[in-house]
Structure 1
Amino acid sequence: MAVSSDYLDFVLEQLAPVGPLTSRKMFGGVGLYAQGLFFALIDDDTLYLKGDETLRPDFEAAGGVQFAPFGMSPMAYWSAPAEALDEPELMVAWAQRSIAVAAARKTRKVK
Structure 2
Amino acid sequence: MTRAAQPGLIPMSPFALLDVWQVSVMAFELWTSSFSTIAQRNQLWQTQPFYSPRMIKENQRMVTEKLEAGIEAGLAMQKTFLNMLGGQHAPWWVTSRQAMQPYHQRSSANSRRLAR
Q: Which has the higher contact order (CA 8 A, sep 6+)?
A: 2
* TM class by smaller structure: 0.3 to 0.5
Q: Which has the higher strand share?
A: 1
Q: TM-score, normalised by structure 1?
A: 0.34
Q: TM-score, normalised by structure 2?
A: 0.33
Q: Which has the higher helix share?
A: 2
Give 1 or 2 for the bigger CA radius of gyration.
2
